[in-house]
Amino acid sequence: MRSAEPVGHGALLAGMWNAARAQRLAHAFGFFGPPGVGKFLAAERLVLGLVCASGPGVPCLVCGACKRALAGTHPDVLVLDPVTQEVEEIYMSWITPRDEPDKEKRPPGGVALEEFLALRPLEGGWRAVLVREADRMGTEAQNALLKTLEEPGSDVLLVLESSRPERLLSTVRSRLVPARFAPLDRASVVSILRREGVDPGDLEELARWSRGAPGRALALASQSAGVIWNAVGRVLAGDLDPLEAAAALAEIEGEFPGRTPSAKARARARAVLDLAIEAVGDILRARAGASAERVAHPALAALSAAVPEARLEAGLERALEARQDVDANLDPALAVERVLLALAPPPAASTARRTVRTS
Ligand SMILES: [Zn+2]
């Protein structure tokens, strides 16, 4: 569990700790909002403040309970985190104990949620379960969780965090008290990036790209997003061969989660496609007259000024299809290649342009 203070969500947390002190805190929450705005960090903070010896309230971070929670060894805290575990799915065995022959699919701490909740609280306070990116539960896992959500127990707190709550079953969603998280203002994003040690020279650009989500800015920095966007822009402008670009992007360094090379390749392709989708969407928005602060990539818009709108739209459509192909386990490298080919000028046109440039 992380100790960093989530910026911009202090009032929400204070309200929840107050409710806990008055013994009227609800038992199941949905922390919903865009990715990277600090939803899960806030959930971690909430739990720290509940288990802290001086809580409920702002956690001291130094008492035994805080230290155990921070170290991941607090017996009354269970964190189901597919991001840290680098798995794409929250497996059924994480929720309900079952014989799971596949070691990869067993629950991270060896204990399923239902087993955990069957125990008495060992430190006498709350038993808390945090589920990160809860939308990564399949239907079976969600249905299993539903039983717990129907009768959580008087000392149980469940927080389901998700940027895509529409992927949760409506029966699950309806049992959660929703807490909505909004994007942060530019100054808050910059202060967080500075705290996280981002190079001062990159601060402004990352803050602009973040769309109010500092976690997203940090992910972009760790995934060489600037290099990827630059390649997309040059392919659009006919300045870089799409196949050459695809080959380079298939090798690009960065934090692409996955336990196996093929899982990493899939994660990398997803990142490239998401960034291409975002860039093209941004260019189309800029052309439609969006205000300057809503355009994250003015440089790309300028670079692709001569690109016909039909090509941008076709490329965007191809990219959205390719994104689904990657999720459906089709070859990630081919998916990226197809999109870059659709974004590049048709072969005849690019030859013509080259001739003009060299003459
Ligand atoms: Zn404490």
Q: What pLDDT is attached to residue 358?
A: 44
Whole-angstrom distance, CA of residue 236 vs CA of residue 238: 5
- Cα–ligand 1 centroid distance for 138 (angstroms): 35
Q: What pLDDT is attached to residue 359?
A: 41
- Cα–ligand 1 centroid distance for 67 (angstroms): 7
- 220-275 pLDDT, tens digit per residue, is 999 999 999 999 999 999 999 999 999 999 999 888 988 889 999 999 999 999 99
Whole-angstrom distance, CA of residue 264 vs CA of residue 88: 11
Mean pLDDT value across residues 62-89: 94
Determine the residue type at 204.
Answer: E
What 3-state DSSP class applies to 298?
helix
- Cα–ligand 1 centroid distance for 64 (angstroms): 7
* Residue in the block written with tokens 């035994």: 64
Of 202-211, 331-340, 347-356, give the lowest mean pLDDT range.
347-356
Nearest one of 82, 170, 74, 189 to 124, comparing CA atoms: 74
- Cα–ligand 1 centroid distance for 134 (angstroms): 27
Instruction: Name the band, by pLDDT with cuts 50, 70 and 90, for residue 351.
Output: low
- Cα–ligand 1 centroid distance for 41 (angstroms): 17
Q: What pLDDT is attached to residue 283?
A: 93
Which distant-in-sequence residues (6+ apart) come within 8 Å of 338 by Cβ? 318, 322
Instruction: Name the band, by pLDDT with cuts 50, 70 and 90, for residue 334.
Output: very high
Q: What pLDDT is attached to residue 341?
A: 96
Q: What pLDDT is attached to residue 349?
A: 53
- Cα–ligand 1 centroid distance for 48 (angstroms): 7
- Cα–ligand 1 centroid distance for 78 (angstroms): 17
**Residues at Cβ < 5 Å from ligand 1 ion:** 52, 59-60, 63, 66
What 3-state DSSP class applies to 123?
coil
Instruction: Name the band, by pLDDT with cuts 50, 70 and 90, for residue 104.
Output: confident
The whole-chain average pLDDT of the chain stands at 91
Distances (CA, A) of 240 to 23, 56, 143, 232, 322: 62, 57, 49, 9, 21
- Whether this model's pTM surpasses 0.75: yes
Q: Is the pLDDT of residue 51 over 90?
A: yes
Instruction: Name the band, by pLDDT with cuts 50, 70 and 90, for residue 127.
Output: very high
**CB contact at 8 A, 181 and 39:** yes
- Cα–ligand 1 centroid distance for 30 (angstroms): 25
Whole-angstrom distance, CA of residue 60 vs CA of residue 68: 12
Among positive and negative, which fits the CA dihedral 14, 18, 24, 27? positive
β-pairing, 28-32 with 77-80? unpaired
Mean pLDDT value across residues 277-288: 93
Q: What pLDDT is attached to residue 27?
A: 95
Whole-angstrom distance, CA of residue 89 vs CA of residue 290: 37
- Cα–ligand 1 centroid distance for 105 (angstroms): 33
Q: Which runs of E-coded beta strand occur in 51-205?
A: 77-80, 127-131, 156-162, 177-180
Query: For residue 144, which phi and psi values (nearest 5 degrees)?
Result: -65, -40
The verdict on domain 223-358 having CATH code 1.20.272 is yes
- Bond prior to 345 in cis (omega within 30° of 0): no
What 3-state DSSP class applies to 25?
coil
- Cα–ligand 1 centroid distance for 130 (angstroms): 18
Mean pLDDT value across residues 187-215: 91
Distances (CA, A) of 307 to 99, 221, 237, 310, 314: 56, 28, 7, 8, 12
Four-way CATH pick for 10-180: 3.40.50.300, 3.40.50.1370, 3.30.390.30, 3.40.50.2000: 3.40.50.300
- 143-180 pLDDT, tens digit per residue, is 999 999 998 888 899 999 999 999 999 999 999 999 99
- Cα–ligand 1 centroid distance for 65 (angstroms): 6
Determine the residue type at 16.
Answer: M
- Cα–ligand 1 centroid distance for 20 (angstroms): 16
Domain ranges of the chain: 10-180, 223-358
Determine the residue type at 94.
Answer: W
Of 19-23, 130-134, 205-209, 306-310, give the lowest mean pLDDT range.
205-209
Q: Is the pLDDT of residue 40 over 90?
A: yes
Domains 10-180 and 223-358 share a fold: no
Instruction: Name the band, by pLDDT with cuts 50, 70 and 90, for residue 83.
Output: very high
Q: What pLDDT is attached to residue 272?
A: 96
Structure tokens at 186: 């530019």
